């Protein structure tokens, strides 16, 4: 009697089951990953806004007003993009004054651009009193405090 030859490998059904399982995992994991990336970029913009606030408070302590220094030179924000130093398509937020700065007030905004242009939090702002806003549909609680 000849020895029986056995085939080794996977059947088509087994391979298809693995493909379906991987597709289901991907369908759940990819959106969650992208949401975490957006949150990270948003958190970086909030950190840059906070750094600008700290700069303006130090500017006030030295110059006794927010808008110009003792020599009459208008104040300029040190950080204008998020992430800091990014250029072109790598910029996630443009940072600027939302309203003209006065001797006693300012409001800084981070406007989403490029990859973040459709972010559900929209434009983030902070003013001299520490009041924060988010123009998007997610609202303050989801945009500033999470």
Mean pLDDT by 10 residues, the chain (146 residues): 73 92 90 90 95 96 93 93 92 94 95 93 94 88 80
Q: How far apart are CA 133 and CA 118, in angstroms?
A: 17
Q: What are phi and psi of 59, to 5 degrees?
A: -60, -45
Structure tokens at 138: 């997610």
Q: Which run of H or E residues covers position 30?
A: helix 12-63
Q: How far apart are CA 54 and CA 143, in angstroms?
A: 20
- Asked if residue 103 has a cis previous peptide bond (ω within 30° of 0), the answer is no
Using CA atoms of 117, 121, 55, 61 in order, give the dihedral in degrees to the nearest 10. Answer: 140
C-beta separation of 116 from 41 below 8 A: yes
pTM: 0.80
Q: Nearest CA to 109 among 48, 37, 61, 38?
A: 48
The number of residues making up the chain comes to 146
Q: What is the CATH number of domain 12-145?
A: 3.30.700
Can you give the pLDDT at residue 123?
95
């Amino acid at each position: 009697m000849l020895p029986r030859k056995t085939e080794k490998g996977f059947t088509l059904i087994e391979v298809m089951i693995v493909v379906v399982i991987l597709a289901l995992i991907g369908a759940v994991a990819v959106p969650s990953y992208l949401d975490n990336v957006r949150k990270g970029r948003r958190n970086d913009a909030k950190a840059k806004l906070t750094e600008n606030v700290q700069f303006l408070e130090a500017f006030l302590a030295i110059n006794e007003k927010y808008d110009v220094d003792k020599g009459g030179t208008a104040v300029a924000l040190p950080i204008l993009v998020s992430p800091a130093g990014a250029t072109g398509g790598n910029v996630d937020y443009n940072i600027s004054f939302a309203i003209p700065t006065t001797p006693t007030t300012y409001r800084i905004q981070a406007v989403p651009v490029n990859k973040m242009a459709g972010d559900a939090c929209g434009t983030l702002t902070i003013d001299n009193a520490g009041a924060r806003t988010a123009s998007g549909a997610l609202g303050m609680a989801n945009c500033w405090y999470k």
